[in-house]
């Protein structure tokens, strides 16, 4: 039997009935303190026969209380709004415990439905993790603020505002069995480690505000002199100060690496970079041939008067094509206007759109994605450019290649002109402000940034050396010359950055903490009619070096039905796969126009929770 056949038989054999999970077990920390391993760490504090929970996870702990000698839960305290912390609260019909939540996270818990009704998907530069919000509103008993003390039974629970993982997260300080315990949300998961990097990136540009907030939160936690630190994910830390200081040191080092070394452009005036390269303005360049033909490289927020100036100044007779460094709105949003103007009465008709293969689908189907800086309409390709393709155009050789840095969906374009090699690098490289630090680049994980020998800035640094680049032509900065020594310094920067991410991220593979979309719905958003059946995929990227088994269970409202709610797949090493689900929205309530479906993920027996979501708009 072939390997493929064996794999297929194994796939058919596995099903939801014989699938086992490694979660849902108690660990006794002290006489009255237990850890229940769920999609997050759920902590149980015993108060005679009652129990107090810190975070809730899937809620399965309620069926296992007797194992810890507890009869009922009196109160639940939530550290932050992410689904893996609270997803089990969504569908509880009759709740008999009090629920306390951070005041700064209220809108994502009590007003979740309003959040989803008004969520901003397109041209979004707010990178906070608010998309990790529950499907439905949850009723709460009380919101808590920094400094509050809540007395429950024999315990006084003090609230400490500790943003970092989210901007409204709190920690809880409780004296349990003679020790000061701090339940510290996802600020830290182990000595010197954190569960992911992408949740620290609240706004667009580095360094991440979540790191600065975390460092301040660490100071406040250390001031409380804890004996034990209990994170939402990760391990119990019995030497909290040492654990925190190790992460503080790494954050300080990381901040130095990602802090921009950049010299901003001081003028938007049009100028010639070389004989055949022209800066147009905004983020746009043009390649100009001796025959007065042109290719536009990026067309974001440049205006029509500037294009008229370009055509007049360089005597342009034909714009052959428009192509792009990457998919962001400031590099492509006014393309329809350009084509309308240019193809109507201002210049020769038949300008083509050239799009690089690895970003083609994002351009043509933006509604299928949840990425920053998306435009709300498609741009269709007339020509698809392949990775490593050389196009002969008007006596120039245009070399296109994958350049996955500021975003995975990015190309580089190199041309030789007047004996020099020019690299149009898009948003991948800043113009250095000084020669003391090496040139560096923006790390923005929600754009999708991967770490590895053939990914991210490590790949780019090697490509720059292999291509023997002389001049870098960035979209937002003035072009600048580079020496081989400077390129080697850049490679050293990329190597240090990659190594540090691997040290900091507490995951089986660091890319699971860099890539927020390693599990995602495709399409992300879809419009359907009531009772219309449709298929969506849950896409899984297995970043591990071994094949992995995934159980995906869809969670949705009573308005939705699915042909098979749970499915199990094996995904090969360093590979991706799509798991299809057939869904129907049975809308009886016409006032509800939007449904949210979440994908609950279990990987290799470990329950990760509702990791991904999609939006369904009912027409």
Please state at what angle helix 484-504 crosses helix 456-467, rounded to 10 degrees: 160
Please name every residue paired with 354 in a beta bridge, in sequence order, or none if there are none.
323, 383
Over 90: is that where the pLDDT of 269 sits? yes
pLDDT of residue 9: 34
Please state at what angle helix 209-223 crosses helix 240-258, rounded to 10 degrees: 160
Task: Give the CA count within 13 Å in the CB-facing half-sphere of 541.
Answer: 18
For residue 267, give the nearest of 570, 547, 476 by alpha carbon.
Answer: 476
| Helices and strands, counts by H and E, the chain | 11, 34
Q: Rounded to the nearest 5°, which phi and psi values hold at 536?
A: -125, 160
Over 90: is that where the pLDDT of 602 sits? yes
Per-residue confidence band for 421, with pLDDT thresholds at 50, 70 and 90: very high
Over 60: is that where the pLDDT of 2 sits? no
Count CB atoms within 10 A of the CB of residue 169.
Answer: 29
Over 60: is that where the pLDDT of 555 sits? yes
- 530 versus 486: the higher-pLDDT residue is 486
* Alpha carbon separation from 5 to 1, 2, 13, 142 (Å, rounded): 6, 5, 12, 56
CB 135 within 8 A of CB 90: yes
Over 80: is that where the pLDDT of 583 sits? yes
SS3 call for 466: helix
C-alpha–C-alpha distance, residues 371 and 495, integer Å = 26
pLDDT of residue 216: 98
Q: Rounded to the nearest 5°, which phi and psi values hold at 397?
A: -100, 120
> Which of 3-12, 274-283, 423-432, 518-527 is predicted least confidently?
3-12
Over 70: is that where the pLDDT of 367 sits? yes
pLDDT digits (tens, 9 = 90+) for 58-81: 999 999 999 999 999 999 999 999
Q: What percent of the chain has pLDDT over 90?
A: 89
pLDDT digits (tens, 9 = 90+) for 152-173: 999 999 999 999 999 999 999 9
Burial of 186 (0-12, 13-18, 19+ CB in 10 A): buried
pLDDT of residue 6: 39
Task: Give me the mean pLDDT over the 528-548 stretch.
Answer: 96
Per-residue tokens: 527: 């419009």
pLDDT of residue 188: 98
pLDDT of residue 595: 95
Over 80: is that where the pLDDT of 24 sits? no
SS3 call for 592: coil
Over 60: is that where the pLDDT of 148 sits? yes
Task: Give me the mean pLDDT over the 101-123 stretch.
Answer: 96
SS3 call for 495: helix
Over 70: is that where the pLDDT of 277 sits? yes
* Alpha carbon separation from 140 to 75, 102, 105, 510 (Å, rounded): 11, 10, 12, 36
Q: Tell me the pTM.
A: 0.93
CB 147 within 8 A of CB 211: no
Contacts (Cβ under 8 Å, ≥6 apart) of 199: 129, 165, 166, 186, 210, 516
Task: Give me the mean pLDDT over the 350-377 stretch.
Answer: 96
CB 237 within 8 A of CB 29: no
With tokens 């309308």, the residue in question is 340
pLDDT digits (tens, 9 = 90+) for 457-471: 999 999 999 999 999
pLDDT of residue 8: 38
Per-residue tokens: 353: 């759109």
> Which of 22-31, 341-350, 501-510 is predicted least confidently?
341-350
Count CB atoms within 10 A of the CB of residue 178.
Answer: 8
pLDDT digits (tens, 9 = 90+) for 312-362: 999 999 999 999 999 999 999 999 988 876 655 555 557 899 999 999 999
Over 60: is that where the pLDDT of 84 sits? yes
Q: What percent of the chain has pLDDT over 70?
A: 94
Structural domains of the chain in order of their starting residue, each with its CATH number: 31-258 (3.60.15.10), 271-504 (3.60.15.10), 518-618 (2.60.40.10)
Per-residue confidence band for 372, with pLDDT thresholds at 50, 70 and 90: very high
Over 80: is that where the pLDDT of 431 sits? yes
Query: What DSSP string runs through 307-318?
Result: HHHHHHHTT--E
C-alpha–C-alpha distance, residues 384 and 397, integer Å = 17
Please name every residue paired with 556 in a beta bridge, in sequence order, or none if there are none.
none
With tokens 């094509």, the residue in question is 321
Q: Rounded to the nearest 5°, which phi and psi values hold at 66?
A: -60, -25
* Alpha carbon separation from 314 to 67, 304, 499 (Å, rounded): 80, 15, 47
Query: Considering the chain, what is the average pLDDT of its residues?
Result: 93
pLDDT digits (tens, 9 = 90+) for 190-217: 999 999 999 999 999 999 999 999 999 9
Per-residue confidence band for 20, with pLDDT thresholds at 50, 70 and 90: very low
> Which of 392-401, 529-538, 579-588 is predicted least confidently?
579-588
Task: Give me the mean pLDDT over the 568-583 stretch.
Answer: 97
H, E, C per residue of 193-262: EECCCHHHCCCCCCCCHHHHHHHHHHHHHHHCCCCEEECCCCCCECCHHHHHHHHHHHHHHHHHHHCCCC
Per-residue confidence band for 181, with pLDDT thresholds at 50, 70 and 90: very high
């Amino acid at each position: 039997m072939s390997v493929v056949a064996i794999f297929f038989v194994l796939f058919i054999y596995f099903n939801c009935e014989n699938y086992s999970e490694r979660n849902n077990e108690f660990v006794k920390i002290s006489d009255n303190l237990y850890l229940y391993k769920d999609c997050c760490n759920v902590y149980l504090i015993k108060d005679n026969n009652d129990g107090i929970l810190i975070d809730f996870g899937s809620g399965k702990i309620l069926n296992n209380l007797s194992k810890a000698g507890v009869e009922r839960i009196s109160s639940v305290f939530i550290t932050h709004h992410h689904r893996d912390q609270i997803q089990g609260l969504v569908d509880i019909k009759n709740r008999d415990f009090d629920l306390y939540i951070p005041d700064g996270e209220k809108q994502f818990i009590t007003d979740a439905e309003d959040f989803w009704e008004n969520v901003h998907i397109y041209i979004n530069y707010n990178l906070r993790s608010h998309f990790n919000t529950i499907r439905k509103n949850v009723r709460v008993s009380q919101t808590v603020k920094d400094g509050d003390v809540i007395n429950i039974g024999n315990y006084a629970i003090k609230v400490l505002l500790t943003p970092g993982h989210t901007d409204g997260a709190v920690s809880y300080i409780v004296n349990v069995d003679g020790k000061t315990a701090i339940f510290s949300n996802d600020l830290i998961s182990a000595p010197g480690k954190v569960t992911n990097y992408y949740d620290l990136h609240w706004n667009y540009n580095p360094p991440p505000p979540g790191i600065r907030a975390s460092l301040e939160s660490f100071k406040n936690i250390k001031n409380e002199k804890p004996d034990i630190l209990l994170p939402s994910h990760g391990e119990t830390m019995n030497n909290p100060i040492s654990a925190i200081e190790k992460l503080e040191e790494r954050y300080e080092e990381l901040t130095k690496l990602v802090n921009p070394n950049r010299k901003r452009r001081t003028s938007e005036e049009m100028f010639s970079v070389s004989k055949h390269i022209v800066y147009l303005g905004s983020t746009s360049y043009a390649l100009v041939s001796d025959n007065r033909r042109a290719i536009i490289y990026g067309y974001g927020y440049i205006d029509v008067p500037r294009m008229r100036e370009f055509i007049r100044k360089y005597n342009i007779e034909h714009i052959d094509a428009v192509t792009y460094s990457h998919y962001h709105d400031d590099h492509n949003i006014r393309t329809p206007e350009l084509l309308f103007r240019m193809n109507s009465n201002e210049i020769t008709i038949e300008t083509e759109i050239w799009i690089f293969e690895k970003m083609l689908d994002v351009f043509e189907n933006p509604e299928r994605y949840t990425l920053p800086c998306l435009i709300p309409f498609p741009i269709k390709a007339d020509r698809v450019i392949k990775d490593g393709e050389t196009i002969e155009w008007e006596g120039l050789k245009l070399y296109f290649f994958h350049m996955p840095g500021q975003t995975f969906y990015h190309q580089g374009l190199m041309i030789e002109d007047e004996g020099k090699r020019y690299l149009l690098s898009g948003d991948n490289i800043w113009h250095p402000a000084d020669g003391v630090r090496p040139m560096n680049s923006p790390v923005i994980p929600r754009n999708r940034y991967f770490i590895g020998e053939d990914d991210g800035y490590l790949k780019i640094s090697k490509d720059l050396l292999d291509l023997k680049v002389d001049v870098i032509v960035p979209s937002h900065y003035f072009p600048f010359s580079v020496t081989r020594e400077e390129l080697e310094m850049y490679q050293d920067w990329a190597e240090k950055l990659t190594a540090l991410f691997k040290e900091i991220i507490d995951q089986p593979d660091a890319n699971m903490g860099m890539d927020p979309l390693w599990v995602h719905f495709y399409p992300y958003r879809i419009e359907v009619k009531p009772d219309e059946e449709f298929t969506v995929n849950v896409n899984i990227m297995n970043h591990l070096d071994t094949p992995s088994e995934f159980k995906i269970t869809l969670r949705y409202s009573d308005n939705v039905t699915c042909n098979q709610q749970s499915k199990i797949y094996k995904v090969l090493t360093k590979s991706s796969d799509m798991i299809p689900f057939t869904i129907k929205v049975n809308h009886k309530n016409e006032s509800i126009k939007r449904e949210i479906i979440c994908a609950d993920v279990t990987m290799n027996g470990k329950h990760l929770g509702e990791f991904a979501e999609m939006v369904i708009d009912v027409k």
